[in-house]
Structure 1
Amino acid sequence: MSSKNSDFAALLTRASDAETSADPSSVMTLLADTDGPGGGFTTYRSTFAEGAIGAPAHFHTKATELFFVISGSLRVLVGEEAVVLNGGDFLAVPPHTPHAFAAAPGCTADVLFVFTPGMGRFDYLRLLGSVMRGETDPKKIAESSERYDNHYVDSPVWRDALAAS
């Protein structure tokens, strides 16, 4: 495949060729991970089981993170507010904005995530899956925060939202 007027060639990932990473509460399907002069992007799809915790409160300094809920419901922290996204909802979280996500209470969720610019985040997603499966020490996540632009923070709003369910 080729494209015109862009910084990268067109990219096609067939469902049958996509790498998947499963843990006890979710399945991630890794779709595209590019970087380059135009910034690139990272795209993956996660299906969350009922009660699944997706990510604790964190922010990115370089990337905007995009969420598109394909089906189900996803509870999301955005700054100082916890909201529920339902099937068809879209959210863009700009750099430096604390956010977190989990399946909404009593729900499953199927979500498409896009980060832009890209920066080789598939290795982080693989690491995350390994930690969630109990194969890798969780300290490896903290050690990777600068490399993958994931900076974890404490959020009383998110703690309260999780405790309420």
Structure 2
Amino acid sequence: MNVVEIADLTDESGRPLPEFEGRTHGSPVSFIMVSTDVDGAGPRLHRHPYTETFLIRSGEALFTVGDRTLIGRGGQIIVVPPDTPHKFAKTGPGRLEMTDIHASDLFITEWLE
């Protein structure tokens, strides 16, 4: 068993990171904790060679997944297949709280824009 304190997830200079890379901690998954109230916040178009699962706890975001767009809202789970271009941007009222789960023990990202 491995217990990780979220407060201990920091970069080389000691700044907090909202990311957990599983390989470092003996886990087969990695994740990003999203928490923002800034409209438009989110990553640019990219893809991964593995599935990414978005667990939206509150708020909403405009997702582009392949050639589709949709509004993801709190209480939904969005699953993006491997090698599918995708991005999201926070929209609507309230704070976006989401966990982006990568089915890999390390982040592998190909930026497309």
Evaluate the alpha carbon distance shift between residue 59 and residue 20 of structure 1 in structure 2; reply closer, same or farther with a 3 A threshold: same
Work out the number of aligned pairs and report it. Answer: 108
Normalization by structure 2: what TM-score? 0.77
Counterpart code for 2:71: V
Asked if 1 retains the 8 angstrom alpha-carbon contact of 2:54 and 2:78, the reply is: yes
In structure 2, C-alpha distance between the alignment counterparts of 1:20 and 1:52, rounded to whole Å: 25
Q: Does 1:13 align with 2:1?
A: no
Matched, 1:103 2:90: yes
Percent identity over paired residues? 20
**Which residue number in structure 2 is paired with residue 66 of structure 1?**
53
The answer for the alignment partner of 2:18 in structure 1 is 29
Separation (CA, whole Å) in 1 of partners of 2:94 and 2:84? 25
In the TM superposition, residue 71 of structure 1 has moved relative to its aligned partner by 0.7
| Letter matched to residue 42 of structure 2 | G
Q: What is aligned with 2:110? A: 151
Structure 2: segments with no counterpart, 5+ residues: none
Distance in 1 of aligned mates of 2:89 and 2:95? 9
Q: Is the partner of 2:4 in helix, strand or coil?
A: coil
Please say which structure displays the higher CA radius of gyration: 1
State the Cα distance separating 1:19 from its structure 2 match.
2.8
Distance in structure 2 (CA, Å) of the matches to 1:50 and 1:85: 16
Secondary structure at the aligned position of 1:84 is classed as strand
Distance 2:8 2:61 in 1: 23
- Return the match for 1:92 from 60, 79, 96: 79
Superposed CA RMSD: 2.7
Q: What amino acid is aligned across from residue 103 of structure 1 in structure 2?
A: K
**Where in structure 1 are there 5+ consecutive unaligned residues?**
1-9, 22-26, 122-148, 155-165
Matched, 1:56 2:56: no
Q: Relative contact order (alpha carbons < 8 A, sep ≥ 6): 1 or 2 greater?
A: 2
Show the counterpart of 1:114: 101
CA distance in 2, matches of 1:79, 1:94: 10
Could you tell me how far apart the structure 2 residues matched to 1:87 and 1:48 are? 13
Provide the rounded CA distance (Å) in 2 between the counterparts of 1:92 and 1:18.
28
Mark the CA change 1:91 to 1:18 in structure 2 (over 3 Å): closer, same or farther.
farther
Q: Deviations over 1:84-128 (max 9, x none)?
A: 111111011111111001102455311111111122x3xxxxxxx
Paired residue secondary structure (1:103) = strand
Deviations 1:47-79 (A, max 9, x none): 122313211111112x21110011111111111
